[in-house]
Amino acid sequence: GRRRVSEWSGFGFSARNRSLESTPKTRRMSIAEDTQAEDHDDAERAFALQNAAFLLQLFTLATAFVIGLGIKHLNIHWIHEAGATILLGVLVGLMISGSSVSDEITDWLDFDESVFFFLLLPPIIFEGGYSLRTKPFLSNFGAICGLAFAGTTISTFAIGFFVWICGGMGICYGLPLLHALVFGALISATDPVTVLAIFQELGVNTELYSLVFGESVLNDAVAIVLYRTLVNFNNKGVTFVSLIESAGFFLVIFVGSLAVGVLFAVSATLFFKLLNRHGAHDGHVTLLQKYSHVEMALVMIAPYASYAAAESMSLSGIVAILFCGMVMAHYTVPNLSPETATNSKVVFKVLATLAETFVFIY
């Protein structure tokens, strides 16, 4: 009997020991499960807030289009669609800032410059080149380059000296002259988005449109060169060698960007010409005509590829995608199937309109 009691007591003791040993492990598992549950809840909440912010953006975008249609239908001339869209963005922003909306939602509504440069800007510039009448553009190319080079340079020095003088007078933060000129180079490149939207709506003279649009696009390359030149002057000083390097650097930026855009456009042209060389006139439907949605997708990839390639090589993506659009409009489109040739103009116009309106809202 004693032996049985001792066995049972030993069993109970060992069981109690195992229970005590397993308690910390059990607690750790419970804490880990609770942490995972909290992380899951936080992830779900963040996902819900992202969708709420996105929904607000979509409603604002739709409202801007409806207002634009109303302005056109009612023939309102005292305000343009772009101005009405900007005022709508200001109104929505004031409503959000004055309400008790969670800061987490406003974080998702903040403007992201990477989204602008890689998602919104490329379709706007490409559509401008894709629908541009190249004859007025090329006939005025010398004047466009003169305006871009001289205008951006004058703007850089005017802004730089103004900031430097105001800093010396204590009106703003004081900067050395060279730093002030670097700041002037950063903000001297004009934005072509507004030019495109308003000029296309008003149907201005083609030569005026070509001059202003061409200058607003090409000054991007000039601003890049001026910025890097001034930074180089700040680091190494102003020498004859640095001036020669700056001139060579500008040629590399401009010619390189142009070459990248033309290269992708020509590659796309040869690709579509190769696949469509035996077209419907030979009595059968080509592969791309059979799958026109794939053809349209390939057409859309080419300009984005030229923009990304130029930016990856520290060139001007804006210049590259502009000339890519111009070359594709004249050489790629005739080698597309009739359906894709028509749809491409509509699709790129839709993408540009969406991007322009989104930019105006912000």
Highest mean pLDDT among 30-44, 79-93, 233-247: 79-93
pLDDT of 348: 93
Window from 99-103, 139-143, 240-244, 295-299 with minimum mean pLDDT: 99-103
pLDDT of 132: 81
pTM above 0.85, yes or no: no
pLDDT tens readout for residues 32-43: 655 666 666 667
11 pLDDT above the threshold of 70: no
Helix (H, G, I), strand (E, B) or coil at 185: helix
Judging by beta carbons within 10 Å of its beta carbon (0-12, 13-18, 19+), is residue 269 exposed, middle or buried? buried
Measure the CA–CA gap between 202 and 299, rounded to whole angstroms. Answer: 29
Residues 219/257, Cβ–Cβ less than 8 Å: no
Which of residues 70 and 228 earns the better pLDDT score?
A: 70
Confidence of residue 95 (pLDDT cuts 50, 70, 90): confident
Confidence of residue 305 (pLDDT cuts 50, 70, 90): very high
Residues 137/128, Cβ–Cβ less than 8 Å: no
pLDDT tens readout for residues 264-276: 999 999 999 888 7
Measure the CA–CA gap between 218 and 197, rounded to whole angstroms. Answer: 18
Residue in 22, 312, 7, 323 with CA at minimum distance from that of residue 144:
323
pLDDT of 41: 66
Backbone angles phi, psi at 53, to 5 degrees: -65, -40
Residues 192/216, Cβ–Cβ less than 8 Å: yes
Measure the CA–CA gap between 284 and 98, rounded to whole angstroms. Answer: 64
pLDDT of 124: 86
